[in-house]
Amino acid sequence: MELSGTITHSARIESLAGSKIANCYQCGKCTAGCPVASHMDLVPNQLIRLLQLGRDDLALTSPSIWACVSCLTCSARCPKQVDCAAVLDALREFSLREGKASPEAQIVVAFQQAFLDNIKRNGRLNELELIARFKLAVLSHTRQLAFLFKDAGLAPQLMSRKKLHLTSERAHDCEVVGRIYARCAPSQPVLAAPVEAVAK
Amino acid sequence: MNIGYYPGCALHGSSNDYDQSLKACLGALGISLQEVKDWICCGATAAHSLNHKLALALPARNLALAERDGFKEVFAPCPLCSMQLLKVRKAVADDSVRQELSQIVETELRGEAEVLNLIQVFESVGLDRLKTAVKQPLGSMSAACYYGCLLLRPPDVVKFDDFEQPNSMETLLTALGAKTVEWSYKTECCGAGMTMASEDTVLELAHKILTNAVEHGANCVVVACPMCHVNLDMKQAAVERKYGKKLDLTVYYLSDVVGLALGLSGEQLGIDRHFVTHAPTTAKTAIAAGPGSEH
């Protein structure tokens, strides 16, 4: 891998994650405890290392950042208080915003987007609508018809257990949710102060 | 005792058996749950993955609504919802963030209401009171207490139990007369919200968790999270198919087992609506059925 000589320490990612990436001394404890590390092309400590070396581009386009299950084990165990899970959150956010999300991860990306769109419309999760829109989004990306009907067998089982609701779940005041979304749009400034001091 | 109740989307959706279980069990203990009016989704994994500001604003709206309704305590039975509310409480220690969030969510946010998970609700009832309320001791239950991720992590946000070696559920269950097993996967992740987007991940993780519980002598798993229940209960048949083995392990919500000990029936608690079910009607038959029976 060819490295650019400049070390930027990815200030924007540090700011969003509220964590100092330079603190990482590559002990690998994050990766050792990660339940999905075996499915990652770049494991958590390698992603952090890329940011230390100023190679954000490689981290942002990696499918690994979308394999993360957000269990927070990495952050809880880091001996240097690097909030690795928050760093991965920040990587996902910038990756999507800049159109760099890995095509290999499009199913996960489509699900997260369908989920957020669903909340924007309904205030609360409408499960049937989420499933329908997610499946259609995947179909349009992958052209895999089988995915559309995957798990369809679960529907009658959920129905017989009174777990599937045909009436839609909605907050009473959906307009306020739309206004909250607008105030949190990527074009809006970040919060006045990061959740945790960066220089911890 | 009057607690503000933030059910979250799962409990109003396909995890409504958890909602039923909570209301039956806590009702029997004299706790009435009053829903926070017009609550909205906390944003879940999608929000913190795609938009950090929204991930704070959505739960901030809920905390502000609970405070507007005059609740000093908010009970969130989903650990993700509960952790997100606690993140808001932590963030508003900075007054400029508090003011900005108040403006974003159009409601004054103080960030003073306490946020409780299910275990803490039982702890607030008190072990002594629970012990005296037991009508049906859980004598032949060998439970694997499964905490998963967000009841314990991030430790500096949730500040609950020992995040590597938790013991609060075992303490509760022991008081109810159940046995608990020592096992290795009580804080491992089940794959959480990846159920639909990456089913193979969930099946792999659920397989490890369920197998480890069986290997350590458990005849049931006890959870305090709707997503853990989905992945270990609803997905158990898919795990069995994929890995070619029979697990047949009942997965209870914590409120199910407390409710059974209090003498409530499986139907009252919604246990008959689980996927792996031996249709227990009392604690005695629930345990007598045990693993290995037909379902």
**What are the domain boundaries of chain A?**
11-97, 103-183
The 10s digit of each residue's pLDDT in B135-185 is 999 988 999 999 999 999 999 999 999 999 999 999 999 999 999 999 999
The 10s digit of each residue's pLDDT in B93-107 is 999 999 999 999 999
Residue range B182-207: average pLDDT?
Answer: 96
Highest CATH level, class, for B2-116:
mainly alpha
Chain A 15-74, residues with CB within 8 Å of chain B CB atoms:
16, 35-36, 39, 67, 69-73
Residue B1 token pair: 């005792």
User: Is a pLDDT exceeding 90 seen at residue B115?
Assistant: yes
The 10s digit of each residue's pLDDT in A30-89 is 999 999 999 999 999 999 999 999 999 999 999 999 999 999 999 999 999 999 999 999
pLDDT band at A192 (very low <50, low <70, confident <90, very high): low
Q: What is the pLDDT of residue B279?
A: 45
The answer to whether residue A143 neighbours chain B at the CB level (below 8 Å) is no
Backbone angles phi, psi at A144, to 5 degrees: -95, 105
pLDDT band at A133 (very low <50, low <70, confident <90, very high): very high
The DSSP call for residue B31 is P
Q: What is the pLDDT of residue B1?
A: 57
Cα distances from B40 to residues A86, A184, B75, B240, in angstroms, run 23, 16, 15, 36
| Nearest CA among B82, B4, B2, B13 for reference residue B38 | B4
Q: What is the pLDDT of residue A9?
A: 52
Quick one: closest CA in B to A94, which residue? B50
Whether the Cβ atoms of residue B188 and residue B205 lie closer than 8 Å to each other = yes
Chain B 117-156, residues with CB within 8 Å of chain A CB atoms:
149-150, 152-155
- Chain B contact probe: residue of A71, A83, A87 with most B CBs at under 10 A: A71
Quick one: closest CA in B to A109, which residue? B197
Sign for the pseudo-dihedral over CA of B29, B30, B31, B35:
positive
User: Is a pLDDT exceeding 50 seen at residue B282?
Assistant: no
**CATH number of the A11-97 domain:** 1.10.1060.10
pLDDT band at A200 (very low <50, low <70, confident <90, very high): very low
Contact assignment for A157 to B275 by CB distance below 8 Å: yes
Q: Give ∠ CA B46-B48-B54 in degrees, rounded to 5.
A: 95
Counting one residue from chain A and one from chain B, the pairs whose CB atoms sit within 8 A come to 176
Cα of B165 to nearest chain A Cα, Å: 13
Distance CA A69, CA B199 (A): 12
Chain-centre distance for alpha carbon B88: 20
Q: Which residue has the tokens 């959480």?
A: B192
Q: Calculate the dihedral angle through the C-alpha atoms of B252, B253, B256, B258, rounding to the nearest 10 degrees.
A: 110
Backbone angles phi, psi at B143, to 5 degrees: -95, 135
Residue range B11-32: average pLDDT?
Answer: 96
The 10s digit of each residue's pLDDT in B229-252 is 999 999 999 999 999 999 999 999
Q: Which residues are paired to B3 by β-bridges?
A: B33
- Chain B contact probe: residue of A68, A73, A87, A128 with most B CBs at under 10 A: A73
Q: What architecture (CATH level 2) is domain B127-289?
A: 3-Layer(aba) Sandwich (3.40)
Backbone angles phi, psi at B113, to 5 degrees: -65, 135
Q: Which of B14, B47, B97 lies nearest to residue A127, judging by beta carbons?
A: B14
* Domain-wise residue ranges, chain B: 2-116, 127-289
Q: Measured in Å, how far apart are chain A's first and last C-alpha atoms?
A: 31
Contact assignment for B45 to A16 by CB distance below 8 Å: no
pLDDT band at A5 (very low <50, low <70, confident <90, very high): very low
> Quick one: residue B175, left, alpha or beta (phi over 0 = left, psi -120 to 50 = alpha)?
alpha
